[in-house]
Amino acid sequence: MPKVVVVGSANVDFTVAVDHLPAAGETVLGKDFYQSLGGKGANQAVAALRAGAEVTFLAKLGADAHGQQLELHLSFLGLPRDSLLRDPNHPTGVALIMVDQAGLNMIAVAPGSNQSLSVEEVKRSSSLIAQARVLLAQLEVPLPAVLEALRIAKKQGVLTILNPAPAQPLSPDILKLVDVLTPNEGEAQALTGQADVAAAARTLVGQGVTSVVVTLGEQGALLVNTEGSRLFPPFQVNTVDTTAAGDAFCGALACALAEGRSMEDAIVFANAAGALTTTKRGAQDTLPIRSDIEQLCRSR
């Protein structure tokens, strides 16, 4: 099986369904409430696992009930416990999510223990990264820890994928360590200050990224590299909740690239995974299995 190492966050998600997303200062009476397990790192690790990869997830959990819940859940799914670190001083991260009738969402995250993942802890995991074919990271853990993971991976010849979410300024020194950058439209704009997505992606390539894959939701995904650009159309599904769709895309993309697939084939596979995730409410429990992803790919 292809091996993927994910460095990132793990949260407990609290989600409320609403008729419409609130404006500033507005109180909206919600409908259904449900608790699920999420965090971009955990979501992407589970997505890669369900897509068919062997996955190791390096994360920092709190020494509280939520942390225990996450550890039991992730190990039950098949992720090794050894790389799930514990922080006795901070609570496990939580996310507060609102989802409207069209499936659009608003999310606020209290990172908790995620913010205590250190450079030294990443260094101690260098042998795990060296054994992988793909390293996948996001920005819900401290940037120095992400940077160290990228450095180790590049030194060992491991393909690097960075999902720059939530968006924050990234220097060319970081971008040059990234083989594949996977922002959504807003993140691409925030990283470059450019409103045009294609222009933003070209700017990021000019700053050192090998390939930029911009996820565009219902418009699909845009690939930009030094060879040019290509738009990959979306799969048409009945969207209920867009939560974790981007995470499903990133995890499936990592799995496909770890298998040695071309970038084009990997994006189609990832597009299908992202689309399937939107057909159910929740985060990790909505991430599709490999057979369902392949079936949707064949339907085109």
Let me know: does 7 contact 141? Beta carbons within 8 Å: yes
Residues 6+ apart with CB under 8 A from 171: none
Per-residue b or e along 120-144, where b marks 16 or more CB atoms closer than 10 Å to that residue's CB: ebbeebbebbeebbbbbbbbbbbee
Residue-wise pLDDT tens digits, 173-182: 999 999 999 9
The answer to whether residue 196 is catalytic is: no
Helices (H), the chain: 40-51, 65-77, 119-124, 126-130, 143-155, 172-175, 185-192, 197-206, 245-258, 263-277, 290-299
Helices 290-299, 40-51: axis angle to 10 degrees equals: 70
Q: So where are the chain's domains?
A: 3-299
> What local confidence, expressed as pLDDT, does residue 282 receive?
72
Mean pLDDT computed over 43-64 = 98
Q: Which amino acid is at 251?
A: G
| Percentage above 70 pLDDT, the chain | 100
Q: How many residues does the chain have?
A: 300
- Options 32, 247, 285, 292, the catalytic residue: 247
Let me know: does 168 contact 194? Beta carbons within 8 Å: no
Q: How confident is the model at residue 266 (pLDDT cuts 50, 70, 90)?
A: very high
Cα–Cα distance, 131 to 140 (Å, whole number): 24
Q: Is the pTM of this model over 0.85?
A: yes
CATH tag, 3-299: 3.40.1190.20
Residue-wise pLDDT tens digits, 184-241: 999 999 999 999 999 999 999 999 999 999 999 989 999 999 999 999 999 999 988 8
> What local confidence, expressed as pLDDT, does residue 285 receive?
82
